Each structure stands twice: as structure tokens, then as C-alpha cells.
């Protein structure tokens, strides 16, 4: 853990007190100090438990009652706190992957490595808990992205998980974004699972010179896999025979689905997946990427949505 100076820690803890005064929901939602003292919202209701870091607006964990965790999270906390947490749901925005023209800009944009503020917290009638966060723009983010753009995240934690990413173009010019909810799903053994829903879809195979191919049947993983499926609005189902469950991923306003597993070699290069962590994760990412970038007109909003539910086999 990097040592924070006492003043920073005191500021962060003061923030914690303010956050809990303004946004805690007794018995259901509380803010605690996470990595480097960064506030984390802990949600614990009748349906599920979840944690969300204000660094990156990063949903780190989600576990419905009576089920195994739905999200995979590395137990390696990167030493550099500007590096995104490995696992959970990193937010890729306002571009996906390397920047189109300037490789010095951060991969997957800057939303996942900057701070978010709390806008609202709500206990919903059905017993779910909802939190709304907003990306805090800084000189650095405005240099990377000069267009006035508001980005909000709405997370609703119930027996299902709902994640919404709202881009509001508050500038006077159209903006074009790439984006992804880069979700790391927990699986019993990635070699014993299959992803249904992408049959016949065209995809870009980043492991084969970005050749465009067509999916035949279910997606299975037996080595490093990195694919952007295009022009698909379909639900995906992760059939996990080891954990004896299905994870159903439903989406709105998303035309791309990204499938990624680093396998042994890339996991070793990344260095933050833990020992054989790659065997227990599969990224199925609700996205708009490659051919499917989104243009938002001045004053308009784009509303990316993902719903995740667990079904016992």
C-alpha cells in the first residue's frame, strides 16, 4: 500500500464523515475507507452485498444472497493508485482500448482512474439499493477530453444487478465516444464454461491480426481470447458447469460485446491477476466499440445499460 501523508488521509476520513452524513442509508449503505483511504460504498441489503470505490466509480464486488460472487476481483491491489483495480467493472470511457490517434493517452480512457462524487443514494421499494455517481472532471481530464460532457453512473443492487452509464453532451458540438462496462465475471473454471448469444455474430479477432470472422455456436475459452463482437444487441449467457449456474447479461443501447481472457501469458505480463486468476474470470463487456462508436448530439444523452441475473442450473 502506498503511504499517504497524514493530511491526505485526514482529508479522506473527513470526506468519509461527510459522505455518511449526507448519503448513508442506515443498515443498507455505508461509506468506509478502502485502498489508500479512498472511500468505498458498502451496500448490504436483503438481496445482495456490493462494494463500489469512488476511485473510478468502480463496482468491485456483487454477490446476491445464497450465491457465489458474480464478479471476479484480483486480490492484488496495484501499487500505483492511478492504475485501475483489476476486476469488478472498470468503466472504459470516452474511448475503448488504445486511443485512436495518440497511444500516449491512457488505454480505455480516463473514467476508471479518476474520482467520482456521490449524487444520490436511495432505498427502493423492492428492497434494492441505488447509488448515483458522477465523474469529477479535472485539468487532466479536460486536456484529454475538452468537450463539456457529464458522465454519471447508476448502480442498482438487488437480486439482479443493474448498471447504467449516462453520457450527457453539455457542449455545443456533437461528440463521438467509445465505451464499455469492462465486467470481470467469476467462473468456476473458464475451461468449463460457454458463452451463448453470439452465434453468427461478426467479430474482430485481436489475437489474429484483427481479422473479421463469424462466430460459430457458443464461445469457449482455451487460450488468450480478445474479441470485439459487432452489431449485436443480444443477451449473453455464461453457462458455468463448475459453479452450476447461468449468468444472464442483458443490455440496452449497446451494439458491441467484448470477450476477453488474458490466459496464462498475458496474465503473467499484467502481473495483477494473482496465481492462475485467469482461470476464474471471463470478461463479457457491454460496449460500443470499433464500428459501433456512438455520436451524441449537443444537449442529448446516451444511456448504456446492463442487467445481470443469476440462474441456478
Chain contacts with ligand TA6 (rule: CB under 6 A): 84, 97, 107-108, 182, 226, 258, 260, 270, 283, 285
Identity of the residue, 45 or 61, whose beta carbon is nearer to ligand TA6 in the bound complex: 61
Q: How far is the CB of 167 from ligand TA6 (least distance, A)?
A: 19
Q: How far is the CB of 55 from ligand TA6 (least distance, A)?
A: 14
Identity of the residue, 226 or 239, whose beta carbon is nearer to ligand TA6 in the bound complex: 226
Q: How far is the CB of 97 from ligand TA6 (least distance, A)?
A: 5
Q: How far is the CB of 85 from ligand TA6 (least distance, A)?
A: 10
Q: Give the number of residues written for the chain.
A: 313
Q: How far is the CB of 258 from ligand TA6 (least distance, A)?
A: 5
Identity of the residue, 121 or 141, whose beta carbon is nearer to ligand TA6 in the bound complex: 141
Q: How far is the CB of 107 from ligand TA6 (least distance, A)?
A: 4
Identity of the residue, 169 or 256, whose beta carbon is nearer to ligand TA6 in the bound complex: 256
Please give the full DSSP string across the chain, using - where no structure is assigned. -PPPPHHHHHHHHHHHHHHHHHH-BTTTEEEEE-GGG-EEEEEE-SSEEEEEETBTTEEEEEEETTS--SB-B-S---SSTTSPPSBSBPEEBSSSSS-SS-TTSPTTBSGGGSBEEEEEEEE-TTS-EEEEEEEPP-HHHHHH--S-EEEEEEEEESSSEEEEEEEEE-SSS-EEE-EEE--EEE-S-GGGEEEES-TT-EEEETTTTTEEEE--SSB--SS-EEEEE-S----EEEEETTTTEEEEEEEES--EEEEEE-HHHHHHHH--S-TTGGGGEEEEEEEE-GGG-EEE-TT-EEEEEEEEEEEE-
Identity of the residue, 31 or 110, whose beta carbon is nearer to ligand TA6 in the bound complex: 110
Identity of the residue, 21 or 80, whose beta carbon is nearer to ligand TA6 in the bound complex: 80
Identity of the residue, 123 or 206, whose beta carbon is nearer to ligand TA6 in the bound complex: 206
Q: How far is the CB of 135 from ligand TA6 (least distance, A)?
A: 18
In sequence order, the β-bridge partners of residue 193 are: 240
CB closest to ligand TA6, residue no: 260
Amino acid at each position: 500500500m502506498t503511504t499517504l501523508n497524514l493530511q491526505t488521509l485526514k482529508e479522506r476520513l473527513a470526506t468519509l464523515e461527510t459522505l455518511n452524513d449526507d448519503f448513508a442509508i442506515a443498515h443498507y449503505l455505508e461509506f468506509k475507507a478502502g485502498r489508500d483511504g479512498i472511500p468505498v460504498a458498502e451496500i448490504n441489503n436483503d438481496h445482495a452485498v456490493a462494494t463500489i470505490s469512488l476511485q473510478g466509480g468502480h463496482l468491485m464486488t456483487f454477490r446476491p444472497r445464497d450465491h457465489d460472487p458474480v464478479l471476479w476481483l484480483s486480490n492484488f491491489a496495484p501499487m500505483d493508485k492511478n492504475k485501475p483495480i483489476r476486476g469488478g467493472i472498470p468503466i472504459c470511457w470516452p474511448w475503448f482500448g488504445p486511443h485512436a490517434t495518440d497511444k500516449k493517452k491512457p488505454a480505455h480512457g480516463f473514467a476508471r482512474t479518476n474520482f467520482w462524487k456521490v449524487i444520490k443514494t436511495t432505498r427502493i421499494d423492492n428492497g434494492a439499493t441505488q447509488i448515483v455517481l458522477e465523474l469529477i472532471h479535472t485539468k487532466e481530464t479536460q486536456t484529454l477530453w475538452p468537450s463539456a460532457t457529464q458522465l454519471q453512473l447508476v448502480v442498482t443492487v438487488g437480486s439482479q444487478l443493474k448498471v447504467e452509464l449516462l453520457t450527457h453532451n453539455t457542449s455545443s458540438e456533437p461528440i463521438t465516444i467509445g465505451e464499455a462496462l469492462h465486467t470481470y465475471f467469476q467462473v468456476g473454471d473458464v475451461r468449463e464454461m460457454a458463452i451463448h448469444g453470439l452465434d453468427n455474430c461478426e467479430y474482430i479477432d485481436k489475437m489474429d491480426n484483427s481479422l473479421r470472422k463469424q462466430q460459430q455456436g457458443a464461445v469457449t475459452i482455451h487460450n488468450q481470447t480478445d474479441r470485439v463482437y459487432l452489431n449485436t444487441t443480444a443477451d449473453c449467457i455464461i453457462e458455468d458447469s463448475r459453479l452450476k449456474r447461468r449468468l444472464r447479461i442483458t443490455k440496452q443501447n449497446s451494439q458491441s460485446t467484448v470477450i476477453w481472457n488474458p490466459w496464462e501469458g498475458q496474465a503473467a505480463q499484467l502481473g495483477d491477476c494473482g496465481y492462475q486468476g485467469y482461470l476464474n474470470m471471463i470478461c463479457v463487456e457491454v460496449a460500443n466499440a470499433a464500428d459501433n462508436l456512438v455520436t451524441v448530439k449537443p444537449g442529448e444523452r446516451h444511456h448504456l445499460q446492463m442487467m445481470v441475473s443469476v440462474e441456478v442450473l
